[in-house]
Chain A
Amino acid sequence: MNTDLGNHRYCKDNLDLGTEPVPVEPCVSPEFFEREREKIFRRLWLNVGRDEDLPRKGDYIVKDLAVGNASVLVVRGQDGKVRAFHNVCMHRGNRLAWEDKGHCNGMFVCRFHAWAFDQQGNLKHVSDEANFHDLDKATLGLKPLAADVWQGFIFVNLDPSPSETLLEYLGGLAEHLNGYPFENQPRAFKFGVDEQTNWKVLIDAQNEIYHLPYLHKRSFPVFGPRNDHHATRTLAFRRFGRHGVYSVEQEKVERPTALEKVVDILAPTTGKADQMIGWFDFYTVFPNFVIMFLGKSSYLTYNVWPLAVDRSRWEISLYGPAPKNPAERIAMEYRVTRLRDLMQEDGGNHEAIQASLSTGAITHFQFQDEEIQLRHFHKVVREEVLGPNSL
């Protein structure tokens, strides 16, 4: 597959996405944010971690999902199954688990009055039980949440009865990525940054390569094919229902820096796994999860957690084969810190964009054909919040 360097390549096959400017309001309106909370984050599947966060039976993580107004306890039970519960004691509502992650040897015991729940959520012990009135322990298990695992990625759903299973939700995206060797590439690094920006502004800033030759001219002077006007062109854009992917072909670095040359021999960035479309594939897993593949044996994920209409937490994880020797460790550090620098270049803009949007100076975004991913993403957001016939 070769990159077509022409213009208007995607709009023709995506007529429903239109070509008109896209409203800013969903990025600045507190009312719209409240509706996103209900219609998106309390209804759809959300990634909260990976299998490797719960390597042993009894391991747990706690995710405080402010946007879903929920604290979620995710635990790998003694049967190996991953379950999720509201992290709330059924007695009087105290927080049950207090650490971000930990290991439960037997029961989760509430520190308030020592009610004890097993790892399947059952209420097993009530202190001073005889003094209660008609207490039916069988009905007072922890409140469960739908949880499922796809290719090692753990998802939960805050809807008491989700309208789709996780696999139905992921649809063609899951089929497309099945078999990718995620398990051979453990998480090596994780970064987190809190920003004064809307979650969609943050994702938008990553969801195209139009900006590469400008904002990232120093960090990644070569990234993807360009036309005669020095404008980037992606290799492909595909939709999987609410989700999408864009892909970029690798461009040869003609003049690598002194260290880049050395690192590239140790840890070649060329080649791609069978499931990859190009050399860089960027999947937006609606609403707030990103999986991106970079060359043959490394990938990254983003979890972008809305905290308020104008505040978000950006969690970045980088995965790859564990280095066998110090030279490979240095090569890994090179790849990771270079991407980190690039993300800090992006981060320099997120808050400025949000501040500008909040002034009302512009009411619409202008998206070109290379930004069709953003057009798709914003359309899905508006459809989920306002209904499919509202646009």
Chain B
Amino acid sequence: MDTRLPKEFADLERFSAWILPSSSERNRKRVTSPMPELKDFYQAMIGRIDRLMEYFQQFSMEEMPQDTKRLMYLGLSLVEVAHAVERYGQPSIVDGMDPSRFKVLQEPRA
């Protein structure tokens, strides 16, 4: 699989395992990854969040290069991981139901 990212963000290619197009894949990876891994990814991404968002705003959803799309998937994974790091202090929600029972029946086209 091609995991190249736009040149400016090439250092984030080490997180290519987080380039996941569906929200259930992203959620599964979040809840099955150890906390240090989540924190590592979170720190690398959140440290550059302003620049990332500025970069993303140059592209329309319809016309974005493949490397930008992969970077967007990293951004979408950051969302999952941020809930774990910023809110729960653990990969999963606390005292909740098994997230795999929550079926995604519709999501925006990847």
Contact = CB atoms under 8 A, between A and B. Distances in A.
A161 interface: no
Contact of A325 (B56, B80, B93, B108): B56
Contact of A347 (B96, B103, B106): B96
Interface stretch (A54-62, A126-134, A257-265, A292-300): A257-265
B60 to A, nearest CB: 6
Nearest to A340: B102
B61 interface: yes
B72 A324 contact: no
Contacts of B72: 326, 329-330
B44 interface: no
B93 A219 contact: yes
Contacts of B10: none
A226 B106 CA distance: 35
Contact of B106 (A190, A340, A344): A190
Interface residues of A, number: 42
Interface in B58-103: 58-61, 64, 68-69, 71-72, 75-76, 78-80, 82-83, 86-88, 93-97, 99, 101-103
Interface of A: 187-194, 215, 218-219, 257-260, 262, 266, 315, 317, 322-327, 329-330, 332-334, 336-338, 340-341, 343-345, 347-348, 350-351
24 contacts: A189-B107, A190-B106, A190-B107, A191-B102, A215-B95, A257-B82, A260-B86, A266-B53, A315-B105, A322-B61, A325-B56, A325-B57, A325-B60, A326-B56, A326-B59, A326-B75, A330-B53, A333-B76, A334-B79, A337-B80, A341-B96, A345-B94, A345-B96, A351-B97
Interface of B: 23, 27, 46, 49-50, 53, 56-61, 64, 68-69, 71-72, 75-76, 78-80, 82-83, 86-88, 93-97, 99, 101-108
